[in-house]
């Protein structure tokens, strides 16, 4: 039987100046996702600690996972302390941990995201609210609504006058 450890039970606040990024993380976050992460932290707070390795010789914590949460703390929120947990692994295993953490997050499936967008719309959320809180562009929201079926997705949508003119032109030409 595999022994599971719980570093998450040992969260502690440390001086942000004692935390540094690792030099091997291949994960990059595009500006829209970084903006969403910042918004997520503003809305929900830090719900996950930064995973680190403690380097005793240098008395620093090296980020294994959570680099972008760390960046938000430092660059946007100017926090003096951040929540961390530590794991004690050699460099090769820390690199593997970083990749596992990145890949384990997976991707959002289109059908599932479409259902969420429709559910939020049905709960009265506007496209603007969905855009803000889910970090989506309007065209992405429209595409996700289209996946679910146009009739239901656009039942309450207010179309511009140009749409009415388009419809009238089609009727005239048919």
Name the burial class of residue 67, with classes exposed (0-12), middle (13-18) and buried (19+) by CB atoms within 10 angstroms of its CB.
buried
Q: What is the pLDDT of residue 63?
A: 97
Q: Alpha-carbon distance 79 to 25, whole Å?
A: 23
pLDDT at 160: 56
Res 87: pLDDT: 96
- Specify the pLDDT at position 107: 62
Range 7-104 classified under CATH 3.30.420.40: no
CA dist 121 and 154 (Å) reads 10
CA 152/CA 145 separation, integer angstroms: 8
Q: Where in the chain are the domains?
A: 7-104, 110-173
H/E run at residue 40: helix 31-44
- Cβ distance 61 to 54 under 8 Å? yes
CA distances from 16 to 12, 71, 150 (A): 12, 10, 49
At residue 158, the pLDDT reads 57
Count of Cβ atoms closer than 10 Å to residue 143 Cβ: 15
C-beta of residue 75 within 8 angstroms of C-beta of residue 12: no
- Local confidence pLDDT in tens for the 174 residues of the chain: 889 989 999 999 999 999 999 988 877 888 988 999 999 999 999 999 999 999 999 999 999 999 999 999 999 999 999 999 999 999 888 988 888 887 777 665 777 778 888 888 888 889 998 888 777 789 988 888 887 765 454 555 555 555 556 556 556 665
CB atoms under 10 Å from CB of 109, counted, come to: 9
17: which 2 tokens?
């100046």
- The tokens for 40 are 């997520």
């Amino acid at each position: 039987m595999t022994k599971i450890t719980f570093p998450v039970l040992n969260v502690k606040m440390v001086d942000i100046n004692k935390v540094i990024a690792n030099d091997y993380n291949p994960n990059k976050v595009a500006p829209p996702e970084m903006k969403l992460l910042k918004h997520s932290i503003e809305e929900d707070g830090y719900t996950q600690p930064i995973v680190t390795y403690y380097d005793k010789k240098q008395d620093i914590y090296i980020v294994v996972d959570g680099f972008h949460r760390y960046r938000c703390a430092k660059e946007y929120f100017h926090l003096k302390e951040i929540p961390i947990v530590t794991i004690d692994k050699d460099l090769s295993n820390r690199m593997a941990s970083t990749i596992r953490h990145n890949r384990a997050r997976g991707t959002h499936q289109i059908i599932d995201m479409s259902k969420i967008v429709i559910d939020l719309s049905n709960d009265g959320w506007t496209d603007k609210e969905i855009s803000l809180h889910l970090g989506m562009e309007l065209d992405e929201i429209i595409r996700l609504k289209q996946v679910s079926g146009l009739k239901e997705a656009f039942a309450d949508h207010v179309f511009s006058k140009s749409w009415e003119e388009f419809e009238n032109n089609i009727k005239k030409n048919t």
